[in-house]
Amino acid sequence: MEQLSGFTRAELEALLLQALEENAALRKEIAQLRGGGGVGSSSGGSKPPSAAKPVPAFVKANRPEREKKERKRRAQGHTRGYSHPTNVVVHALEACADCGHKLQGGTAHKVREVIDIPVLPVEITHHIKLGRWCGVCGKRQVPQVDLSGEVIGKRRMGVRLMALIAYLGTDCRMPKRAIQRMLRSVYGLHISVGEIVEVLHAVSRKGRPLYEDLREAVRRSPYVHADETGWREDGLNGYLWSFSTPDVRWFLHDRSRGHEVPEAVLGEDFRGILASDFYGGYNFHLGEHQRCWAHMVRDLDELAEKHPEDAGVHAWVDAVKRVYRQARDYTGKDRRERVKARERFQRSISDLARPYAGVDLPQRVLAQRIERFLPELFTFVEHPEVPSDNNAAERSLRPPVTARKVSGGTRSPRGSATAAILMSLFGTWTVRGEDGLQACRTMLTDTSP
């Protein structure tokens, strides 16, 4: 029989037939995996794997194809633009890099913006007053130089440097030695820590009239947020009191946490609404009072966490919080309607608290608190301008608390008074949206009585 490449014709035909059968089997398997028919398949064949095995519920279905629409161009781009340059450097080739031909003119190909700060030494100015002899009068004439816009009194530091030190120490909460290192590294200026302390005292003395004006603004405000936090003075425990309005932050340090402090700050003529937590030091106020619901909600959540298996506690907590949410979402505009709504919410929450106020159950403490402060829980419903929480006071105390963690407090009554004044000034400038550094400079150069 005829040979072909070492195989007989019969052997080659057998190999070809085997290859065709394997090819058909593979094509059939591919068609089944794809979910279709294909060569050698029929409607009565085996089901595709997708039909045999259901898709899990967590698998999202494929999104149907949608017709792609032409992208609408924005009227104004939102890419970061270039800042106004204070210096321009032009780079250009004098000759062609390929043939050496001299190049002239040109257009802007690309702009590379670099933002940096200048390295400037401290500026020291000597004001020399020359004394000149008058031959007619026989007297020496010396000029009177007005430097009130540059320095305070006979100090050697200018108002810009004093404002920067106060800004770094109060608004940036930098320790005094850090301020010292920063001035030496950036400006080449070396001043002692004691001089930095004296600068802070001087700024606070200059700002004391404004500090007193802010207290009067607090007393005239229709509502005031009050709070206190610990503040050590020379290693002795004390308190930093905070009184906040929508546009004022006012601080005071005192060794006492008694009601005499807020009572003296607000004065006998205060007729506004006092917002506070449930601390008894604020009970002196006989007018309208709004107790903080943020504190109440946190305590309710803590109660639920302590009793995870008690369904009754969880149901009671949810019911109290539901009444609060309804009161918070109330939008009545008529004063008479708001008064009725306030009474309605008070009755609802009193009905929830009364059954637990006198029994030995986990809800007893918070139920007694609700009963005790019932008239002061929904003042915000009758007066919608008053928040239901005391978050303004909480937020105003965050910067001092951060400063306390860095410094540990103050070392003398003078230092505590200075800290309270500067915290009040910079806190007020911040809440009013003013630049604290520039506002401090303006205050230091103000010559009005």
**What digits encode the pLDDT tens for the residues 83-113?**
888 889 999 999 998 888 998 888 888 888 8
Q: What is the pLDDT of residue 449?
A: 57
Q: Is the pLDDT of residue 306 over 80?
A: yes
Q: What confidence score (pLDDT) does residue 79 get?
A: 73
Q: What's the pLDDT band for 2 if we cut at 50, 70, 90?
A: very low
pTM: 0.76
Retrieve residue 441's tokens: 């400079």
| pLDDT score recorded for residue 61 | 81
